[in-house]
Amino acid sequence: MTRIAFIGLGIMGRPMAGHLQAAGHELSVVRHVSPLPEELLAAGAVECATAAEAASRSEVVITMVPDTPDVEDVLLGGGGVAEGLRAGTTVIDMSSISPIETKRFAAAIAEKGCDFLDAPVSGGEVGAKSASLTIMAGGSGETFERVRPLLELMGANITLVGDVGAGQTCKVANQIIVALTIEAVGEALLFASKAGVDPARVREALMGGFAGSRILEVHGQRMIDRTFDPGFRIALHQKDLGLALEGARALGVSLPNAATAQELMNACAAQGWSDLDHSGLVKALEVLAGHEVA
C-alpha cells in the first residue's frame, strides 16, 4: 500500500485516482477545480485543506490539472505541494503542460530532496475509465521503475521517453498528430456528405483500409452522430497546440498544419464551443462549407 496524494479530479483524474484506490492504495485528495468525488471519499480517501497537507501525508504526489499555470500553483504556490514535501517523496505530474516549465518545476522539487517524473497521458476519458491510457514519461530510470506499478494501474502503454521534459515533448507531438487527424477525418466526412454520399457508409468503408484509425473510428462516429460531449475538450487541445507552436518558434521549426488546426480550434472557441469534445473541430469546417456532416 502506497500513500498517494492525488490533485486534479476532473474528467480523467477522477477515474485514474479510482483505479489507484481500488488497488488498495491510500488516497489524500484536495479540491482544485472539480468537486471531490463522493465515491472516493466514501471509499476512504482523506480530504485535505491544502496541497501541502496532502503532500505531507504521502509518499507519492500525482497532479492532473489543466495547464502550466495550474501546475505551478499546485506545486509551488502558497499552500502548494512543495511546502509539504518530505525528502524522498516522488512527484508525478500527469498534466499536459510546457516541457520548458516542466524542467523548472522538476528543479524546484529536486531542491526539496524529492524526485520528479513528468508523465502526461493520452486516451481521453475512455482510456482513463478503462485504465488503458498511453503514458509518456520523462525522468530518471530509477524513479520511473519505482512508480511503474502505480502507472500500470492507470495505463496500458507506458514508455520512459527520456529525461525530465521528454514526456511532455512526446505529448505535444501526440497532440499534433491527433489534431491533424481529427481535421483530416472532418474534411473527408464533410466532403462525402456534401457530395451526397452517406458519411456513415464512407466511414465504414474507410475503416477497413489504409485510412483506418482510432480517430476515424471514434471521432468519425461522433461527427456523424453529433455527440460532442467532452472526452477531451477543445479548450484543452487548443492549449496543447499553443504549446506546440510556442515550442516550434523556440526551435526554429515550421508546423504549418498544426497552425491551421489551431486556427480551426480558435474558430470553435469564438463560436462558444470550447467545452465541446475536440471532435467538434468539424463544426468549424462545417461553417466554412455551409454544410453539416449528417
DSSP string, 211-258: T--HHHHHHHHHHHHT----SSBHHHHHHHHHHHHHHHHHHT---HHH
Q: How far apart are CA 138 and CA 173, in angstroms?
A: 14
Q: Please pick, among 112, 171, 239, 283, the residue that the annotation labels catalytic.
A: 171
The cell for 245 is 507552436
Query: Closest Cα to residue 75, out of 201, 165, 12, 64?
Result: 64
Three-state DSSP class for residue 163 = coil
Rounded CA-CA distance 52/75 in Å is: 9
Residue 24: what are its φ and ψ, rounded to 5°? 100, 5
Q: At what angle do helices 234-251 and 256-270 cross, to 10 degrees?
A: 150
Q: Which strand (E) or helix (H) includes residue 199?
A: helix 199-207
Does residue 194 have an active-site annotation? no
Tell me which residues are annotated as active site.
Answer: 171
